[in-house]
């Protein structure tokens, strides 16, 4: 329990510090930070809209947060979740369009499988490149993001668009590929809120990732590779294999964003649908201390901000929804520079020797 508190304390300090810096920025542009923050955070608490939309926004962030987490645990930095989720979402839609006439009992699993496998494939590419040629996964995932986005945009524009549609989006997927919105089961939650079964899948994936990393041999080997690759190699673990496996699992998790967006929300592939989910996933994993439970909490925090951003945009004079990105950036910067807080607390201690 004490350990848990300790783990929670640092992210909390980082978030608070970011809010203080953000508050100063809001003051500087001539608005009241308390009013802005009340809009930003308060709008998420209303039922059903606030909570429904917040959990809907949290869904992709849980997936990408988990994706980045699995990479980190293997010592890899997957900046490629953005590309992985795009190719996977397109593949989901492709299956949903191509086999549109199949019944749900076949089409739903097929579409989900497409998201998972294609995400895993796109994630495995930088894994293989690192294992075989030693080229850095950070650079390759960045490059693959751009390639992925261009590739799916090409397919959408030239092959899967409804002729005459001015929007860059695919044809609709078959009825059999739709998954239910939670409003169908939860009384009081209207079905217009796109929170869907993918949210439950995301929570289930948190459990799976936990079990995989901490309760299986594969997970153990991945974590050993991440924490001490040399020792892992001495212990007979093939680092190269772990890198490919971890990147594939990471890509599969990112790919499941496609299930949420294509099968549960838009029912088609929409070009450029991702609101930087892949990059926010980095923030989610870091703030969540690379633990599945932390990922859920961090994803909800960022989803609250994302939802509140719309209200800030509408109701405050000077502050726009960009404040959300600003806060996100500052939070990661603080989380990354953990040493900074140690340094600060060290200085405070020296200044007040009597109190400590």
Q: Does 315 bind other proteins (CB under 8 A)?
A: no
- Angle at Cα 181 formed by Cα 175 and Cα 185, nearest 5°? 120
Which residue from 46, 157, 216, 227 is in contact with other proteins, where contact means CB under 8 A? 157
CA distance 278 to 257: 10
Q: Does 276 bind other proteins (CB under 8 A)?
A: yes
Residue 343 CB neighbour total at 10 angstroms: 11
DSSP string, 39-53: HHHHGGGSTTHHHHH
Which residue from 39, 40, 66, 79 is in contact with other proteins, where contact means CB under 8 A? 79
Which among 270, 308, 77 has a CA at the least distance from the CA of 157? 270
Which residue from 184, 318, 347, 349 is in contact with other proteins, where contact means CB under 8 A? 318
Q: What six digits make up the tokens of 227?
A: 């924490």
Helix (H, G, I), strand (E, B) or coil at 169: strand
Binding mask 14-53 for other proteins (x = CB under 8 A): -----------x---xxx----------------------
Q: Does 299 bind other proteins (CB under 8 A)?
A: no
Largest separation between any pair of C-alpha atoms in the chain: 75
Helix (H, G, I), strand (E, B) or coil at 245: helix
Count of residues touching other proteins (by CB under 8 A): 53
* CB nearer to other proteins: pick between 4 and 29: 29
Restricting to residues 243-272, name those near other proteins by CB under 8 A. Answer: none
Which residue from 117, 151, 186, 297 is in contact with other proteins, where contact means CB under 8 A? 151
Select from 39-47, 162-170, 255-263, 329-337 the region that touches other proteins (CB under 8 A).
329-337
Helix (H, G, I), strand (E, B) or coil at 138: helix
**Using an 8 Å Cβ cutoff, are 319 and 31 in contact?**
yes
Which residue from 147, 203, 293, 297 is in contact with other proteins, where contact means CB under 8 A? 147
**Using an 8 Å Cβ cutoff, are 75 and 117 in contact?**
no
* CB nearer to other proteins: pick between 165 and 322: 322
Which residue from 92, 140, 170, 225 is in contact with other proteins, where contact means CB under 8 A? 140
Which residue from 9, 16, 135, 348 is in contact with other proteins, where contact means CB under 8 A? 135
At closest approach, how far in Å is the CB of 102 from other proteins? 30
Query: What torsion do the CA atoms of 102, 108, 111, 113 make, to the nearest 10 degrees?
Result: -120
Q: Does 132 bind other proteins (CB under 8 A)?
A: yes
Select from 4-12, 167-175, 242-250, 279-287 the region that touches other proteins (CB under 8 A).
279-287
Q: Does 340 bind other proteins (CB under 8 A)?
A: yes
CA distance 192 to 200: 18
Q: What is the DSSP letter of 157?
A: I
Q: 105 vs 101, 109, 193, 266, CA distance in Å? A: 12, 7, 24, 20
Q: Does 279 bind other proteins (CB under 8 A)?
A: yes
Contacting residues toward other proteins, per CB under 8 A:
25, 29-31, 77, 79, 129, 132-133, 135-136, 138-140, 142-144, 146-147, 150-151, 153-154, 157-158, 276, 279-280, 282-283, 286, 318-330, 332-333, 335-340, 343
């Amino acid at each position: 329990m004490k350990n848990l508190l300790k783990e929670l304390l640092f992210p909390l300090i980082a978030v608070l510090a970011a809010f203080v810096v953000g508050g100063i920025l809001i003051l500087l542009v001539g608005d009241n930070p308390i009013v802005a923050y009340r809009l930003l955070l308060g709008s998420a608490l209303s039922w059903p809209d606030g909570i429904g939309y917040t959990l809907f926004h949290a869904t992709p962030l849980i997936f990408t947060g988990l994706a980045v987490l699995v990479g980190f645990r293997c010592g890899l930095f997957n900046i490629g979740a953005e590309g992985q989720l795009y190719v996977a979402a397109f593949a989901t839609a492709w299956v949903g369009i191509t086999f549109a006439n199949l019944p749900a009992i076949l089409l739903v699993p097929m579409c989900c499988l497409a998201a998972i496998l294609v995400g895993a494939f796109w994630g495995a590419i930088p894994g293989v490149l690192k294992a075989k040629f030693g080229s850095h996964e950070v650079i390759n995932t960045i490059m693959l993001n751009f390639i992925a986005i261009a590739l799916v945009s090409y397919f959408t524009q030239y092959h899967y668009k409804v002729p005459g549609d001015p929007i860059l989006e695919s044809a609709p997927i078959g009825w059999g590929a739709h998954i239910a919105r939670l409003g169908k089961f939860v009384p009081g939650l209207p079905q217009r809120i796109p929170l869907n079964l993918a949210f439950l899948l995301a929570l289930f994936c948190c459990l799976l990732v936990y079990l995989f990393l901490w309760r299986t041999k594969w997970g153990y080997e991945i974590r050993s590779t991440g924490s001490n690759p040399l020792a892992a190699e001495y212990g007979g673990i093939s680092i190269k294999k772990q890198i490919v496996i971890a990147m594939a699992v990471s890509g599969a998790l990112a790919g499941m964003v496609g299930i949420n967006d294509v099968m549960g929300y838009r029912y088609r592939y929409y070009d450029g649908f991702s609101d930087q989910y892949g990059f926010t996933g980095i923030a989610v994993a870091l703030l969540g201390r690379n633990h599945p439970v932390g990922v859920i909490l961090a994803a909800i925090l960022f989803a609250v901000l994302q939802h509140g951003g719309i209200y800030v945009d509408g109701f405050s004079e000077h502050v726009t929804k960009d404040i959300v990105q600003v806060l996100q950036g500052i939070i990661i910067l603080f989380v990354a520079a953990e040493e900074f807080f140690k340094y600060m607390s060290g200085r405070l201690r020296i200044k007040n020797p009597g109190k400590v």
